[in-house]
Amino acid sequence: MALNVSGLNTYTDENKMPLIKKSILEGRTVNYITVQPDIKSSASINIIDSTLVAAAGSCGWDAAGTTALSQRDLSVCPIKINESICLDTLESYYTQKMMNAGSYNEEIPFEQMYSEEKADKIQAMIEDILWKGDTVSGSGNLALCDGFINLFENTAASGSTVAGNTGSVTAITAANVVDVIDAMIAVIPADIIDADNLVLFLGYEVYRTAAKALRDANLFHYDGAEGDFEMVWPGTNVKVVAVRGLNNQNKMFLSTASNFYMGTDLLNDAEDFKIFYSEDNDEVRFRSKFKMGVQVAFPDFVVAFSL
């Protein structure tokens, strides 16, 4: 007589493998730009600029030239993340094996993994908002605050930036990417051309296209062409850096790193989230609160590329 197992479900050992978190591309723009803390709502970037008018040496006093003081406001947006978890829900699934005995569940059994997951996702979200945030036309998290793209394309700053698409290209390819980047570097304003912190931000896919173009040109000796997505562009003082926030945007921005500003309240606010048990609600809660905003000190020192 044959064995009849039609009344059974196929067995899957759900406790065999450890809990893992999904890998994501984290943000790193803040590692290169100027981060300004202690901003509750808005602060000013104070700027001094002067013109010199010289004259032939002679007796007398001929006053000329000016010194101008100006400001650019750096406003921050308050952002919060709230999440609640009813731990009793975990008792009905494989996660029950991770839980302590008894009915009083007050701690996430995989809290370390949970914390790491939240920290990574917050970093990625900040990076996305930093570049693609748009309070007018953005959606979801991107509608919470304005980012650099909006600043350079939809505000008064756009009228001062240097056009980087000098060849009116309509696509970035392996055949033209070197010329495209060279053209951006060629129009760097003369006042900053010898700066020691020039940086070109672009998406990872554009970086990889550029790295392949250099490799195909047999320029293997340039460090970073295939490593940590950062390299000094051959024959220049410009550091090329791939950032998550510009992925698939077909946009690149070049200036001194110190010219890009991110404002915040406390430097580690986004990292200092809280996980606590709410006895009144019988649930574990996650809370993160921080402020962020972007600005540039000198828009006329920014080379902006867009298709």
Q: What is the DSSP string of 269-302?
A: TTT--EEEEETTTTEEEEEEEEEEEEEES-GGG-
DSSP class of residue 76 equals -
17 Cα distance to chain centroid: 33
CA distances 189 to 2, 194, 225, 254, Å, are: 84, 10, 26, 10
Enter the pTM of the model. 0.86
- As a whole number of Å, the CA-based R_g of the chain is 26
| 194, burial (CB in 10 Å: exposed 0-12, middle 13-18, buried 19+) | exposed
Distance CA 126, CA 294 (A): 11
Residues 6+ apart with CB under 8 A from 283: 84, 85, 86, 87, 277
Give the pLDDT of residue 236. Answer: 95
Distance CA 163, CA 93 (A): 57
Bridge partners of 47, per DSSP, are 70
DSSP helix/strand/coil, 254: strand
DSSP helix/strand/coil, 153: helix
Give the pLDDT of residue 47. Answer: 83
Q: What are phi and psi of 69, to 5 degrees?
A: -105, 130
Kindly report, residue by residue over 41-100, the tens digit of the pLDDT: 998 888 888 888 888 888 888 888 899 888 899 999 999 999 998 887 877 777 777 777
Q: What is the mean pLDDT of each run of 10 residues along the chain (307 residues)?
A: 59 52 71 92 88 86 87 93 86 74 79 87 94 96 97 94 96 96 98 96 96 80 65 94 96 97 83 87 91 95 97
Give the pLDDT of residue 18. Answer: 56
DSSP string, 1-33: -----TTSPPP--TTSSPP---------GGGTS
DSSP helix/strand/coil, 37: coil
**């402020």: which residue's tokens?**
291
Q: Domain residue spans in the chain?
A: 29-306
> Looking at the domain covering 29-306, what would its CATH class be?
alpha beta
Q: Are 285 and 83 in contact (CB under 8 A)?
A: yes
Distance CA 75, CA 178 (A): 36
Q: SS3 for 163-223, per residue?
A: ECCCCCCCCCCCCCHHHHHHHHHHCCCHHHCCCCCEEEEECHHHHHHHHHHHHHCCCCCCC
Residues 6+ apart with CB under 8 A from 150: 133, 134, 135, 136
Give the pLDDT of residue 16. Answer: 47
Give the pLDDT of residue 57. Answer: 84
Q: Are 83 and 286 in contact (CB under 8 A)?
A: yes
Give the pLDDT of residue 162. Answer: 97
Distance CA 300, CA 242 (A): 23
Strands of 14-93, DSSP E: 34-36, 42-51, 66-75, 77-85
Give the pLDDT of residue 64. Answer: 86
Give the pLDDT of residue 61. Answer: 87
